[in-house]
Structure 1
Amino acid sequence: MNPEIDDPKQVVLQVGAVLKKLRKEKHLSLEDLSELSGVSKLTLGNIERGETNPTIGMLWKISKSLSIPIMALFSTENCVNLSRAGKGLRIAGDDNNWMIEPIFQNAGHGIEMYRAYLQPHSSYYPEKHHHNSTELTTVMSGTITIHVNNESYTLNQYDSISFRADGTHSYINHTNEVVVLYIMLKYGS
């Protein structure tokens, strides 16, 4: 189960969405799944819409009929995603001193993850991000100074910082080495 979801209503909605997705992937109608599982069509529809909290017995019947582990009904992940450094899309800043590689985007949860590279003796001044956005940055290699509003923070390898990204912030590399960062942007509150 997704550890971030601890609200029972959210869990019910998630199970319903996953069930609907899995049922459609297997090209089954509600009636087909009802016949396979022994759970009524009405109950299956209510589960998919998040209108009922299914019992463990119902979940076992459904998972067996779909030939999936029961915990697959609690997971939105059904495949493995791999992002290798230096492979795939790379986006450079205006002066080519700043480079990002998108890692994973989860638009449904308002999250974006990047690897970022800042060249020696250079700086990057991003635009203010969306209202109520949060930036979480971890230094993977090197040392960097990050300015957030009017404060300066020096981070070394494996140090992390989190800040509101809708204010002014910048990254400055005063060293002779490329700094590698892991950045996660979270949109919303």
Structure 2
Amino acid sequence: MVNKSNDAEKLARQVGDTLRRIRHDRKMSLQELATITEVSKLTLGNIERGEANPSLSVIWKIANGLTIPISTLLNEDKEVLVSRKNEGNDVVSTNGACTLQSIFDTSNYGSFEIHRAFLEPNSEYSPGAHQIGVIEYVTVMEGELKIKIQDEYHHLYEYDAIKFNGDVEHAYINPTDSVTVLHFVMTYTKPN
């Protein structure tokens, strides 16, 4: 049986170590990082020390501010990776509607990432707009998904997929009484 408390502590240390390494690589102060991410200096310091387990929305703010995929903060650096169901680093949205498991990314602040996501029954997850240049490819692996992209809705069923610019307001809605399982591929391009 997986010990979620130990997993959360391991994830908090990993995110903190990675964040500190990126900040030092970029020769940024904690205050500069706070300014570009809109996350308080105190919270960032706690994250770097592994004393805080950041929510999905805080991780998105950090990734967007640094213009990196969120999986850069979530995945361990290894040569060969096997991603198994329920063994990934779970990050939960603030409202508890969405659990994201990072699967793979490219190393060194890569240009793409792959995730599994579990959207709770009759719930909505609104990540907001991501950094400029993010393209999302979403496939429904189980269940149904309504996705709102700006003011337009798309209803997807099992194995349906959608591609869209993730740098606009969007939301994921599970209209059913069962968990919806999603597969994400996100690509990142540097703005000109």
Retained in 1: the 8 A contact 2:101–2:116?
A: yes
Cα distance in 2 for residues equivalent to 1:81 and 1:98: 24
Give CA-to-partner distance per residue, 1:114-137, whole Å, 9 cap, x none. 100000010000021110110110
Per the alignment, residue 156 of structure 2 pairs with 155
DSSP 3-state at the match of 2:130: coil
- Percent identity, please: 33
Per the alignment, residue 82 of structure 2 pairs with 82
Cα distance in 2 for residues equivalent to 1:128 and 1:79: 32
Per the alignment, residue 143 of structure 1 pairs with 144
Cα distance in 1 for residues equivalent to 2:165 and 2:88: 28
The normalised TM-score by structure 2 is: 0.55
- Provide structure 2 residue ranges, at least 5 long, that are not aligned to the other structure: 1-77
* Aligned AA (2:131): H
DSSP 3-state at the match of 2:129: coil
Task: Within 5 Å, give how 1:51-62 maps onto structure 2.
Answer: none
Displacement of 1:105 in angstroms is: 1.2
DSSP 3-state at the match of 1:175: coil
Give CA-to-partner distance per residue, 1:54-98, whole Å, 9 cap, x none. xxxxxxxxxxxxxxxxxxxxxxxx954210111131000002111
Cα distance in 2 for residues equivalent to 1:135 and 1:96: 21
Cα distance in 1 for residues equivalent to 2:107 and 2:172: 25
* Aligned AA (1:88): G
4+ aligned runs moved over 6 Å, structure 1? none
DSSP 3-state at the match of 1:138: strand
Cα distance in 2 for residues equivalent to 1:166 and 1:158: 24
Displacement of 1:107 in angstroms is: 4.2
Cα distance in 1 for residues equivalent to 2:128 and 2:170: 8
Per the alignment, residue 16 of structure 1 pairs with none
DSSP 3-state at the match of 1:132: coil
Displacement of 1:160 in angstroms is: 0.4
Cα distance in 2 for residues equivalent to 1:116 and 1:92: 10
Retained in 1: the 8 A contact 2:88–2:103?
A: no
Task: Within 5 Å, give how 1:1-189 maps onto structure 2.
Answer: 80-107=80-107, 109-188=110-189
Cα distance in 2 for residues equivalent to 1:79 and 1:156: 35
Retained in 1: the 8 A contact 2:128–2:171?
A: no
Q: Which has the larger radius of gyration?
A: 1
Give CA-to-partner distance per residue, 1:4-48, whole Å, 9 cap, x none. xxxxxxxxxxxxxxxxxxxxxxxxxxxxxxxxxxxxxxxxxxxxx
The normalised TM-score by structure 1 is: 0.56
